[in-house]
Chain A
């Protein structure tokens, strides 16, 4: 059970926190929220789509072909691929809504993140938040602003009827013996509806800043192939005995830490 507590002088003065040593905290995320501002980067390597939430459509990176599985995570906790969603880069910190629309910086206290002696101090000797804490707070505030803007863009697309279910069938395992996987619950831009949009509505999208998002999403869909390949590589890695229990699985990774396709 993850405990989330607000960062405060009372609780954290004199204490330290540790940056995550691996991305294993993302293991169960089949999707990760994205903001429009990171889309040009994310869509170059990951499939991007939408999921439905009580507050409307949310922009996400597709990370798995089944729930509870993040294929971008290597068995040794490294991130496979060139892009890590911003949503993960503030870890172990989160912003929580406090009173009066104020946000409070909180920390997820899992697995000894908070320590007396190891890692970065929460507060400096002058009693002020330390530089890394100030940086992460600024980052999370920016991310929160971008998240609100992104939600508005998704709502704009929805208003114009441009979001449709994305029925995904991916073949894994290769050859004729391969498995067809169906992925449900994802949504995509309706390209036919986009092309049929009257000029005024199209201009509204352009003025609203939604067009870049639209084309990034459309371009990103081809990366589904990458997820199928990753599924196969994970399966291969799991069935290959490791030399010892702690052995890094380097099969999945090239020398530069990126996936290789041979």
Chain B
């Protein structure tokens, strides 16, 4: 989505207008959306949560299985889901770390500047909401958007710490997803990591308790549960072979138990 990033400045962008739209065509090419802890439960309900090998250090909602094909954006640009990841909603704005030189921030605190994508379709419409008032302040409308950016930014370090805690215990393993269409292998998705449930179950007590004390268990379980979103929702609709494969383990009269096994039961 963010093809170009420019620093938002009232002097230069005084006339900028942003249109609020239900057209998510701009996200059609996104296959991963980084997520923060606060939205984890909403994400788990509709998207598989994965841990990609990338620089963000954040868990991601998996939106598509082929390059540039977001299964959650339909032909008209509508979003096929109830909860839309904050990463998608914040576009065309994002926060970036300010260079330290100018005004040195208090020790240990980063300063952030607002970046935006000048080519975003939302910014090309004369009917949009003004970004700045005549005196160069952010308009109330855009302040609400900034609040979203701030709440995301605040949640990022804590979310990264959770992923790091899970990873440090060796719980993340790489999983390959084979994408079949009409019985033919069309794509192989690599570089996604998932929690190995066996390793989780075999984790020594002390490690498990440390995971709990760090508050990482809700993320672990949300992630494990979220795998069901290959069976239902847009990914299942676009890749029925995958959904069928995920479903084949479940004869009509038997229980599903491959997501979280209750093998500890006696």
Contact = CB atoms under 8 A, between A and B. Distances in A.
Interface residue SS majority, chain A: helix
Contacts of B20: none
Interface string B6-29: 000000000000000000000000
B171 to A, nearest CB: 15
B257 A215 contact: no
A163 B229 CA distance: 29
B208 to A, nearest CB: 6
A206 B264 CA distance: 9
Q: Which of B44, B222, B263, B264 has the most CB of A within 10 A?
A: B264
A44 B48 CA distance: 12
Interface stretch (A5-13, A116-124, A135-143, A174-182): A135-143
Contact of A36 (B42, B209, B217, B262): B262
B45 A223 contact: yes
A86 B264 CA distance: 21
B214 to A, nearest CB: 12
B79 to A, nearest CB: 11
Contact of B217 (A86, A146, A211, A216): A211
Contacts of B260: 39-40, 212, 216
Contact of A41 (B41, B212, B228, B253): B228
Interface string A19-56: 00000000000000001111111011100000000000
B169 to A, nearest CB: 15
Interface in B227-266: 228-229, 232, 237, 252-257, 259-260, 262-265
Nearest to B46: A44
A219 interface: yes
A145 to B, nearest CB: 9
A208 B218 contact: no
Given A86-B255, A219-B221, A212 B262 contact: yes
Contacts of A35: 255
Q: Which of B42, B217, B228, B253 has the most CB of A within 10 A?
A: B253
A209 B221 CA distance: 13
A136 B237 CA distance: 30
B259 A41 contact: yes
B45 A222 contact: yes
A89 B264 CA distance: 25
A38 B254 CA distance: 10
A60 to B, nearest CB: 17
B21 to A, nearest CB: 15
Nearest to A229: B82
A215 B197 CA distance: 15
B256 A41 contact: yes
Interface string A214-228: 011011001100000
Given A149-B265, A202-B209, A209-B262, A216 B253 contact: no
A82 B255 contact: no
Contacts of A142: 254-255
A40 B264 contact: no
Contacts of B229: 44
B237 A256 contact: yes
Given A209-B265, A215-B221, A219-B41, A37 B205 contact: no
B31 interface: no
B225 interface: yes
Contacts of A36: 262, 265
Given A207-B264, A211-B217, A223-B45, A216 B255 contact: no
Given A142-B255, A212-B221, A222-B45, A203 B208 contact: yes
A149 B257 CA distance: 14
Given A149-B265, A208-B264, 19 more contacts: A37-B255, A40-B224, A40-B260, A44-B45, A44-B225, A44-B232, A45-B45, A136-B253, A138-B253, A142-B255, A199-B205, A203-B209, A206-B264, A209-B262, A209-B265, A215-B222, A216-B225, A219-B45, A258-B232
11 contacts: A40-B228, A44-B228, A82-B232, A89-B252, A139-B253, A139-B254, A142-B255, A202-B212, A211-B221, A219-B221, A223-B45
Interface of B: 41-42, 44-45, 82, 205, 208-209, 212, 217-218, 221-222, 224-225, 228-229, 232, 237, 252-257, 259-260, 262-265
Interface of A: 35-41, 43-45, 82, 86, 89, 135-136, 138-139, 142, 146, 149, 153, 199, 202-203, 206-209, 211-212, 215-216, 218-219, 222-223, 256, 258, 261
